[in-house]
């Protein structure tokens, strides 16, 4: 066999003390050693390979780090599943079904959903099957969120509730991952002694400690794609998928805990992301959403600094992909190049999610958002210039410490002028551990509620107006399932559409003519055969 293989990725070598810039790739049977120059990132603990290799007969490589002559360390982790450039494909689960079941409970953002999907894929690879009933499970995994105190409290409540089950089934591993775990494992071990394993988000190799069968997968667990659906779940095959492309956040918004828990921005290697999307699309996935806390910062930390715009172009070229989205963007990184790419590329959906959080510059400064109201509005204006039909979504927090009524009205005015299709509204609540939690939470709850209501009413009026213009228009809808007896799906602009049809349509694209509108969704009738 002679195939082009790709070895672009980053990773860490546990125990490695190297500060050298030379590391090694070793063929799996260790009969030959190929020395390669690699780049060093940040510290001696991180390795980066960015070469495409052509190696006869060896589909897999093992990375060996040179920590000085005679002190090479072979890590258990960085065995690379190299991807054929020509023929991305899926293999069946590598171990037969073993009768064991896993239960995964996930709260939080799409990043958590994607990580949970990866854990599910790993377990399915070694013969486990999913259950929706924790009482039936042979292993229970909780994926936690800490963005709000309420979310963290829910996780704690769930862990406490599971203590009883753990007493009844002491051999059942109980695992906690997600943002709650980062940097506070020692504290959590004392608080929840019945938990068998804590692991940082995306540190999937740790799962081997409670599922030893995973060690039988001789490639890196990181290489399993997100939202991979092995044939055992073929009936539930996904047609949409989340793909994380950048982890962490380099901003320090004064109300946000994410940077403390998820760390600095770390982009996944360009070729890894493209290869993963190729593999996902080859299984029938039609819509891919690229994820990151600051998704449009993608690539600044990689060799050659590939941008999100470049990544969008590479992914758009993958045959079979119908829709491409990305979440969540930071206004500071929303470049003309990214907007132009979305406007130009056939698969990139005409939808922009650009959180603004407040419309008053002083509030934005205290939130440490690093942009002004005018910057955000200018980005929206440029986006609309390039894509007149684009839909815009944003996030707003009301009642931030010190927010006066006049400052709130700046937000109201900005939203009234901008006319977004969707505004995710939140009332401020202090998050322990953040800067703003040290400030007086001085907007009374009733006042926060009043401001929230005022924006909700405004948004109802704006959406009524925007959607009314859609009457009689025809939109492509990706059908997600049934709701109250009707088919339901989303346009490329992410607007919810309901319609009737006797055909089986899950996962199909249908053109729908809009016959009725409301502020929050559209109703219609099929105007094309499904495809």
Q: Which residues contact 454 (CB under 8 A, 6 or more apart)?
A: 412
Provide, rounded to whole angstroms, the least separation between the CB of residue 147 and ligand SF4. Answer: 8
Does 119 bind ligand SF4 (CB under 6 A)? Our answer is no
Minimum separation from the CB atom of position 435 to ligand SF4 (A) = 10
Cα–Cα distance, 26 to 8 (Å, whole number): 15
The smaller minimum CB distance to ligand SF4, of residues 292 and 524, is found at: 292
- Contact pattern for ligand SF4 over residues 270 through 309, marking x by CB under 6 A: -----------------------xx---------------
Per-residue burial over 210-245, b if 16 or more Cβ lie within 10 Å, else e, is bbebbeebeebbbbbbbbbbbebbeeeebbbbbbbb
Q: Which residues, 322 to 341, sit near ligand SF4 by CB under 6 A?
A: 330
Minimum distance from residue 489 beta carbon to ligand SF4 (Å): 29
Q: Which stretch binds ligand SF4 (CB under 6 A): 164-172, 192-200, 245-253, 480-488?
A: 245-253
Mark the segment that binds ligand SF4 (CB under 6 A) among 52-60, 248-256, 267-275, 496-504: 248-256
256 scored as a contact of ligand SF4 (CB under 6 A):
yes
User: What x/- string results for residues 10 through 49 when contact with ligand SF4 is judged by CB under 6 A?
Assistant: ----------------------------------------
Q: Cβ 260 to ligand SF4, closest distance in Å?
A: 9
C-alpha span between 354 and 392 (Å, rounded): 7
Nearer of residues 259 and 524 to ligand SF4, judged by Cβ: 259
* Burial grade of 29 (CB within 10 A; 0-12, 13-18, 19 or more): exposed
From the list 24, 45, 251, 333, which residue makes contact with ligand SF4 (rule: CB under 6 A)? 251
Phi first, then psi, for residue 515 (nearest 5°) are -115, -15
Total chain residues near ligand SF4 (CB under 6 A): 10
Candidate list 123, 174, 253, 478; residue touching ligand SF4; CB under 6 A: 253
Structure token pair of residue 248: 């962490």
Report the C-alpha gap between 108 and 130 in whole angstroms.
Answer: 20
Closest separation in Å from C-beta 487 to ligand SF4:
35
Work out whether 259 is an interface residue with ligand SF4 (CB under 6 A).
Answer: yes
- Among the candidate windows 2-10, 77-85, 252-260, 427-435, which touches ligand SF4 by CB under 6 A? 252-260
Residue 400 CB, shortest distance to ligand SF4, in Å, is 12
Query: What's the distance, CA 31 to chain centroid?
Result: 39
487 DSSP β-pair partners: 482, 499
Torsions phi, psi for 23 (to 5 deg): -135, 180
Report in angstroms how near the CB of residue 293 gets to ligand SF4 at its nearest: 4
Residues 6+ apart with CB under 8 A from 457: none
Other beta carbons less than 10 A from residue 305's beta carbon: 11
Q: What is the 3-state secondary structure (H, E, C) of 161-218?
A: HHHHHHHHCCCCCEEEEECCCCCCHHHHHHHCCCCCEECCCCCHHHHHHCCHHHHHCC
Strands 174-178 and 197-198: parallel
Q: Tell the smallest beta-carbon distance from residue 330 to ligand SF4 (Å).
A: 5
Q: Considering beta carbons, is residue 265 or 271 the nearer one to ligand SF4?
A: 265
Structure tokens at 22: 């030379």
State the binding string over 195-224 for ligand SF4 (x if CB under 6 A, else -).
Answer: ------------------------------
Distance separating alpha carbons of residues 318 and 312, to the nearest angstrom: 10
Are 425 and 452 in contact by the 8 Å Cβ rule? The answer is yes
Footprint on this chain of ligand SF4 (rule: CB under 6 A): 249, 251-253, 256, 258-259, 293-294, 330
């Amino acid at each position: 066999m002679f195939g082009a293989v790709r070895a672009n990725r980053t990773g860490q070598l546990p125990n490695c003390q190297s500060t050298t810039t030379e590391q090694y790739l070793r063929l799996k049977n260790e009969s030959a050693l190929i020395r390669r120059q690699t780049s060093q990132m940040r510290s001696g603990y991180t390795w980066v390979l960015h070469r495409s290799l052509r190696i006869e007969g060896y589909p897999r490589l093992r990375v060996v780090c040179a920590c000085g002559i005679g002190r090479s360390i072979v890590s258990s982790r960085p065995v690379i599943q190299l991807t054929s450039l020509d023929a991305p494909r899926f293999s069946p689960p590598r171990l037969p079904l073993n009768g064991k079941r896993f239960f995964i409970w996930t709260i939080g953002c799409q990043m958590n959903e994607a990580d949970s999907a990866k854990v599910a894929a790993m377990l399915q690879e070694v013969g486990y099957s999913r259950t929706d009933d924790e009482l039936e499970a042979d292993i229970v995994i909780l994926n936690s969120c800490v963005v709000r105190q309420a979310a963290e409290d829910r996780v704690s409540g769930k862990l406490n509730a599971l203590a009883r089950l753990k007493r009844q089934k002491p051999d059942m591993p109980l695992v906690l991952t997600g943002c709650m775990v980062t940097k506070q494992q020692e504290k959590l071990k004392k608080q929840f002694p019945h938990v068998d394993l804590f692991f940082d988000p995306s540190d999937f190799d740790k799962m081997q400690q409670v599922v030893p069968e995973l060690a039988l997968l001789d490639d890196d667990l990181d290489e399993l794609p997100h939202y991979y659906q092995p044939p055992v779940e073929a009936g539930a095959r996904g047609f949409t998928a989340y793909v994380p492309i950048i982890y962490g956040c380099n901003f320090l918004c004064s109300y946000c805990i994410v940077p403390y828990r998820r760390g600095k921005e770390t982009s996944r290697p360009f070729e890894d992301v493209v290869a993963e999307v190729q593999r996902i699309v080859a299984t029938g996935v039609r819509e891919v959403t690229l994820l990151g806390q600051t998704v449009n910062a993608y690539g600044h930390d990689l060799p050659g600094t590939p941008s999100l715009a470049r990544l969008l172009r590479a992914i758009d070229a993958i045959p079979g992909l119908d829709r491409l989205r990305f979440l969540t963007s930071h206004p500071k990184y929303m470049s003309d190049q990214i907007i132009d790419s979305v406007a130009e590329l056939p698969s990139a959906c005409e939808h922009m999610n650009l959180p603004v959080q407040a419309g008053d510059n002083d509030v934005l400064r205290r939130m440490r958002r690093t942009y002004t109201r005018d910057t955000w509005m200018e980005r929206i204006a440029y986006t609309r210039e390039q894509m007149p039909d684009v839909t815009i979504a944003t996030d707003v927090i009301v009642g931030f410490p010190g927010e006066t009524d006049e400052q709130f009205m700046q937000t109201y005015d900005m939203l009234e002028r901008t006319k977004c299709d969707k505004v995710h509204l939140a009332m401020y609540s202090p998050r322990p551990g953040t800067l703003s939690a040290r400030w007086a939470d001085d907007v009374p709850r009733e006042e926060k509620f009043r401001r929230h209501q005022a924006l909700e009413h405004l948004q109802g009026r704006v959406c009524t107006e925007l959607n009314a213009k859609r009457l009689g228009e025809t939109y492509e809808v990706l059908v997600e399932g049934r709701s109250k007896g009707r088919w339901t799906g989303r346009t490329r602009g992410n607007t919810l559409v309901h319609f009737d049809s006797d055909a089986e349509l899950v996962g199909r694209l249908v053109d729908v003519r809009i016959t009725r509108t409301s502020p929050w969704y559209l109703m219609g009738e099929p105007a094309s055969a499904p495809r």
